[in-house]
Amino acid sequence: MRSSGFQPRIVCDKIDCNFIDRIVSLLNRQEQAVLFTNKKDQQLRKCKTFTNCKRHLKVNLEICSQPMIYLELYDKYELASESPRYEQAEKVRHQYEFARDNLALSGIAMDGQVGDQKMNSQTFAQLILTSGIDLFFQMLFLGAIAMGMMMVFRNFDSKSLLDNYKFDTKKAKDISQRLDDVKGIDEIKEEVENLIKMIREPEKYTSKGAKLHKGVLLYGRPGTGKTLLARAIAGEAGTSFIYCTGSHFDEMFVGVGAKRVRELFQEAKSNKPCIIFIDEIDTLLSKSRRFNSEHSSSRATINQLLAEMDGFEKNDQIMVIGATNHEEILDPAAVRPGRFDKKIHVPLPDINGRENIFDLYLNRIAKAVDVESRKLAQMTPGFTGAEIENLVNTAITEALHKYKEMADMSDFEYARDRIMMGIERKKLSMTDKDRLNTAIHEAGHAIACYFTPGAKKLYKATIVARGGSLGATFMVPDESDMLSTNKEKVLANIDVAMGGHIAEKLYLGGEQITTGCGSDLKNATDIAYEAVRKYGMFGAEAGLMSTDSKEVSQEQNAIIDDKVKKILDESYERVTKLLQKKDKELRELSKGLFHYDYLDHDEIEKVINGKKIEKEKVRSWDYKTYGDYAIRF
């Protein structure tokens, strides 16, 4: 049944078109009712539509000013299907009343009566209230748009777009670094000195037909001193120095990166002779910026830099020094001769280089007499200059925390452990049984490391939780390991990684093996795969090739998998025999780790040789609580 009782007819005399738009907007927004013109009038044409109805309102705005226009108010359910809607009768009544109240704001009469166009004070107040609410929501919408625009531009510096960007420029007199301040670069010192001569005396080279280098690329591990070396080159050559990073040329607006490159070289031209140092240059000159992996504005930035370095315009007395940790990802067009003419690899410092670096930083702190730079250099193979500086600073701060006047050797050992092993979790709740399980695991690693030929030098073992592990056994590599490794050392590393898992199986049983073995097995598997797939150390069986798993056939991958499994199985057998043979040593070492928490190399050697350790025990085994378990104390 249709709600035909709620179809009022509105007789309007010269209705204002704006009023019709406002009332219709109100009705449509509330989805309560729909305003229609008299359906019998065939001259009306559609000029406004509503998405919340099945039909459209047809209003000819041109005839709005004509007298006696008939309008009818229909509820939206009457425009739906013919199916009866008895349950909607009450809802339709409320819809009708809502429309009637809103139309009454202008005094329009309903049910065939002509309304009085005069408004009383109550009607005027209602009109003002309705208009005020509409204005409030409009202002709220505009405010939301303004807030969004402010969030977009909040971190944007307008000077980066409108004005010239201010780069960090140092005059020659303000650069205090010299080549003597850069330690651990003895291998490349001659190369750097020749570069400084070329910058300092350009006429000497150009008069003989030589061309000056336009760019120098410094690459190597993080913390090896590339930035300090660039400053020292500028200080020795007596030139101005401009520092920036690859990220300085990235901006949310298109074209800003290329603009900053032009500004950079313009700044350098006004400070000739000048060295431009771009740190982390791989951010700017990576392959992905040119080969369609990034936006075209990124390619414009790199093209602008290449044009400035080797374009039609000559930039004499301007040298670009770039530093990167990822030389392999640089664009070939950027590192070709004519742009970056010289590449200098900044290596890790050897033991002599580390000794020199320690001498430099130890002279700046208060230290005890027993602190020797040579001994510290031997303790820190593989450390970079930045890591050595951090170690020295950690040692002196630890000494001051303990109210000491100077740092002694114990503070440096603490600093090395802190850097290599992480923070101690002293308050971690563990039972003695769990601690003994950890001690057996770490003793397995230590015994395998001590008795396996080619293994790294044993440094320290602990059952104190550090970082994400419950214990750790640390080894230090030889100086030769910094250069290359051989098959014997690879297999020894696999055996050491297997030691903890096999020790748990032998003394705790196969059903009690812990999840702590997971990382060890993954490490052993990764080493085996690298030896087979990357280094071709087992080429007779797996092929003499160095490829990725995606670059070979499934059959070849299956052969490699079989070989890796065989390597791990053979390692398992070797280490099992070794730990069974060294049963007494492993048991005593497990007890020592349980009693003392920490054992260094000398203490581990004493335990293995059956000697007593002059050290206070941290804990003892509680027989009343745990009885005999795994190892008898």
Convert the pLDDT of each residue in 547-585 to its tens digit: 777 778 888 888 899 999 999 999 999 999 999 999 999
Range of weakest confidence among 185-199, 223-237, 289-303: 289-303
Q: Is residue 338 part of a domain?
A: yes
Q: Is residue 631 part of a domain?
A: no
Cβ–Cβ < 8 Å for 34, 53: yes
Angle at 509 between CA 508 and CA 515, to 5 degrees: 75
Q: Whole-angstrom Cα distance, residue 311 to residue 477?
A: 48
Whole-Å CA distances, 616 to 427, 443, 604, 608:
20, 20, 15, 19
Query: 393 and 452 in one domain?
Result: no
Range of weakest confidence among 57-71, 385-399, 594-608: 57-71
Residue 573: the pLDDT is 96
Residue 427: the pLDDT is 76
Residue 562: the pLDDT is 92
Convert the pLDDT of each residue in 601-616 to its tens digit: 999 999 999 998 888 8
Residue 566: the pLDDT is 94
Q: Whole-angstrom Cα distance, residue 90 to residue 23?
A: 23
Structure tokens at 179: 């080549």
Q: Whole-angstrom Cα distance, residue 343 to residue 544?
A: 31
Whole-Å CA distances, 326 to 245, 284, 287, 422, 557:
15, 12, 11, 27, 29
The stretch 533-559 carries a mean pLDDT of 81
Query: 175 and 92 in one domain?
Result: no
The stretch 517-528 carries a mean pLDDT of 90
Active site residue 190: no
Q: Is residue 28 part of a domain?
A: yes
Residue 121: the pLDDT is 59
Query: How many structural domains compose the chain?
Result: 4
Residue 202: the pLDDT is 86
User: Of residues 251, 387, 442, 588, which has the active-site annotation?
Assistant: 442
Query: What does pLDDT average to over the chain?
Result: 76
Query: 511 and 393 in one domain?
Result: no
Where is the domain boundary, 296, 311, 346?
Answer: 346
Range of weakest confidence among 23-27, 229-233, 355-359, 428-432: 23-27
Residue 564: the pLDDT is 93
Whole-Å CA distances, 519 to 191, 423, 523:
43, 19, 6
Convert the pLDDT of each residue in 95-108 to its tens digit: 555 555 555 554 44
Quote the percentage of the chain above a pLDDT of 70: 73
Q: Which secondary structure element, helix H or strand E, spans residue 277, and what is its range?
A: strand 274-279
> What's the whole-model pTM score?
0.65
Residue 153: the pLDDT is 58
Q: Whole-angstrom Cα distance, residue 564 to residue 547?
A: 15
Residue 390: the pLDDT is 94
The stretch 412-432 carries a mean pLDDT of 84
Q: Which secondary structure element, helix H or strand E, spans residue 229, and what is its range?
A: helix 226-237
Amino acid identity, residue 150?
M
The stretch 77-106 carries a mean pLDDT of 48
Amino acid identity, residue 144?
A
In the DSSP assignment, the letter for residue 107 is T
Classify residue 571 as exposed, middle or buried by CB count within 10 Å of its CB (0-12, 13-18, 19+): buried
Query: 574 and 436 in one domain?
Result: yes
Compare 85 and 14 and report the one with higher pLDDT.
Answer: 85
Cβ–Cβ < 8 Å for 159, 172: no
Residue 489: the pLDDT is 92
Structure tokens at 130: 């309705």
What band does 397 get if pLDDT is binned at 50, 70 and 90?
A: very high
Q: Is residue 154 part of a domain?
A: no
Give the count of beta carbons closer than 10 Å to the beta carbon of residue 503.
28
Compare 117 and 284 and report the one with higher pLDDT.
Answer: 284
Where is the domain boundary, 88, 118, 148?
Answer: 118
Amino acid identity, residue 39?
K
Where is the domain boundary, 118, 144, 177?
Answer: 118
Amino acid identity, residue 472?
A
What's the chain's Rg over C-alpha atoms?
A: 41
Among 244, 247, 249, CA closest to 304: 249
The stretch 442-454 carries a mean pLDDT of 94
How many Cα neighbours within 13 Å face the side chain of 225?
A: 29
Compare 309 and 75 and report the one with higher pLDDT.
Answer: 309
DSSP 58-92: ---GGGTTSSSEEEEEEEGGGGS-SS--GGGHHHH
Cis ω before 453 (30° cut-off from 0) = no
Residue 41 has pLDDT above 50, yes or no: no
The stretch 430-443 carries a mean pLDDT of 91
Convert the pLDDT of each residue in 321-344 to its tens digit: 999 998 888 888 888 887 888 899
Cβ–Cβ < 8 Å for 9, 112: yes
- The residue segments making up the domain with residue 361 are 351-421
What band does 31 get if pLDDT is binned at 50, 70 and 90?
A: very low
Query: 282 and 175 in one domain?
Result: yes
Give the contacts of 369 (CB within 8 A, at least 6 positions apart). Answer: none
Query: 593 and 487 in one domain?
Result: yes
